[in-house]
Structure 1
Amino acid sequence: MIQLPTHDRYDYSAITDRPDYTWPNGKRLAVYIGLNLEHFAFGEGLGAELAPGGPQPDILNYAWRDYGNRVGAWRMLDMLNALDLPVSVLANSVMYDYAPELMAAYSARGDEVVGHGRTNSERQSVLSAADEDALIAEATEVLTKAEGKAPRGWLSPWIAESRVTPDLLKKAGYTYTLNWCMDDQPVWMRTEHGPLLSIPYPQEANDIPSIVARKDGAAAFADMIIDNFDEMLDQSKSQPLVMGIALHPYLVGQPYRLRHLRRALTHICEHRDAIWITQAGSIYDAFSGSMIE
């Protein structure tokens, strides 16, 4: 019989056949926003494209992405404050040098800061284990110094992992990862240094795959968030669930997209009494503290 290669990080488990539990205050659906604050190298490296890029330096796409830090993230800050919504900030460590005022503004809200590599101009999956370890250490040191505490969660730039990334994250002190999108509940993963919690991070309710890859319009993306939320709220009557919403200010911070995003998030807030609006780190605390296997 064929034996497929496996990661051996977790075992198969059907979501309909697991222990039941609830989130704080008896809630069944946890909702969090993962806000990606990213900075890119000029004239080299990786980056999403508004239009097919030409030879470097690719001014059009670099400047389009930079709009997110200069304008989009600030417009989103106003919206999040108006809706009283916390976020988990997924931060490239170079953001603290490039836009310290922006990082300080989100930190002042009490938002959680999650490690998101050094820059989205690079992938950690192509590095040697030693170089990847050094990348994680460098990013962690910057965030720890700036925030006064070490980040507990990690999202790799471009969701890129080597075969040893979970081991390196756990060794570096991380307690959860957002890299794996295989479930709607947290899942314990095995590493060489002990368990690492995988918290659901969306690749569907996510503006990069939706807007950049599939070319969905602003209204369609907002409708996707609303439909995903409504369906998961119904499903959560049977199982406790986690809904993440992944956002990038250079995409949804554009004025016409921001208007539709506000519509979607307002819809979610209208159900505030029925759901747990939270941050990824608080999901880790609740799940790990409840002794859920």
Structure 2
Amino acid sequence: MRHHDRYDYHPLPHRADYSWPEGRRLAVYLALNLEHFSFGEGLGAELAPAGPHPDVLNYAWRDYGNRAGAWRLLRMFDDLQLPCSVLLNTSMYDYAPDLVDAFRRRGDEMVGHGRTNSERQGVMAEADEKALIAGCTHAMLEREGRAPQGWLGPWISQSATTPDLLAEAGYGYLLDWCHDDQPVWFRTRGGRRILSVPYPQELNDIPQIVGRKREGAEFADMIVDSFDELLEESRDRPLVMGVALHAYLVGWPHRARHLRRALRHIRDRADGRVWITTAGAIARHAASLPPGVVPGA
């Protein structure tokens, strides 16, 4: 059988124990995808089955996220005093600069997320994928004053060499693999390595709301139930809980109401065991631990 050879198998209950900063046990982060889509071509999530291009119904539904929904979420995060990791298509710098500026002013982490979610990087030739990563990195360095440390591929799309290209471009972590409840080291070519930080495909509004047709109340209940269960389990081992959000889904008022309820529950129960943070801070702490503590390669 073929194997990716990126990491070794280490059962979760048999690993070394460690804690997050200040002895905390459960690290929680919000991942807000800020995405831009090409009009009349390319990929995009669908409210209804796509019609011929230009598919105005689905394009406009997604555009609502940048024009209204993300601003609603920003106010919610401010009200609840919650940080987030912004997974950013770099085309947003030209399309919606005021929105990116607003999250930057909050001090939120900016994570590389390709140019646009109208394309997948995993189908590109290696030279083209390398150029995509380099172009996005340069754009974020110019606008943010620092290069991003993390990457999530548009549509969770990777080629066989994506982890290698990211490590060679100076990235410290990637979010594409939903395979664990803790960070895991990946082997990459040339003797390098890159950290995989857990990014959720279950606590993710696209698979749940678009894919499984579950609505805001049920998605919020999943967030609450996951938090409560992981908080109990974190007595035995350090864990990561991510929540993946898209402004064109949970930014609509009827879903934002339920999301607020779930996030308030997390905030109100965030005692000395809970670290509400960013994906980048999780990666930095994990990378600082002694060799052999974080599993993987």
TM bin, normalised by shorter chain, reads: over 0.9
The match for 1:192 among 189, 193, 207 is 189
Paired residue for 2:284? 285
Identity of aligned residues (%): 63
2:248 to 250, 270, 275: 250
Shift in Å, 1:239: 0.9
- The structure 1 segments of at least 4 consecutive aligned residues displaced by more than 4 Å after TM superposition are none
Please give the alpha-carbon distance, in whole angstroms, between the structure 2 residues aligned to 1:20 and 1:56: 53
- Corresponding residue for 1:73? 70
C-alpha distance in 2 between matches for 1:73 and 1:229: 23
Aligned to 1:23: 20
Give the distance between the partners of 2:266 and 2:103, measured in 1 at CA: 21
The structural deviation recorded for 1:271 is 1.4
Aligned to 2:262: 264
Q: Hey, what does 2:231 align to over in structure 1?
A: 233
Give the distance between the partners of 1:69 and 1:263, measured in 2 at CA.
Answer: 22
> Could you say what the CA RMSD is over the residues aligned between the two structures, in angstroms?
0.6
**CA distance in structure 2 between the aligned counterparts of 1:218 and 1:289, rounded to whole angstroms:** 37
**Number of equivalences:** 290
Q: How does 1:58-97 map to 2 (within 5 A)?
A: 58-97=55-94
Deviations 1:47-70 (A, max 9, x none): 000000110000000000000000
* TM-fit CA distance, 1:84: 0.3
Compute the TM-score of the two structures, normalised by the length of structure 1.
0.98
Q: CA deviation at 1:123?
A: 0.2
From 10, 14, 39, the counterpart of 1:13: 10
Residue-by-residue CA offset, 1:22-62 (whole Å, 9 max, x unaligned) = 00111100000000000000000000000001100000000
User: Counterpart of 1:52?
Assistant: 49
Task: Please state if 1:101 is matched with 2:98.
Answer: yes
**Alignment partner of 1:143 out of 137, 140, 143:** 140
Gaps of 5+ in 1: none
One-letter amino acid of the counterpart of residue 239, structure 2? L
TM-score (norm 2): 0.97
State how far apart, in whole Å, the 1-side matches of 2:246 and 2:136 are.
20
Does residue 213 (structure 1) correspond to residue 177 (structure 2)? The answer is no
Report the AA paired with residue 184 of structure 1. D
Alpha-carbon offset, residue 142 of structure 1: 0.8
Residue 217 of structure 1 and its aligned partner are, at CA, apart by 1.1
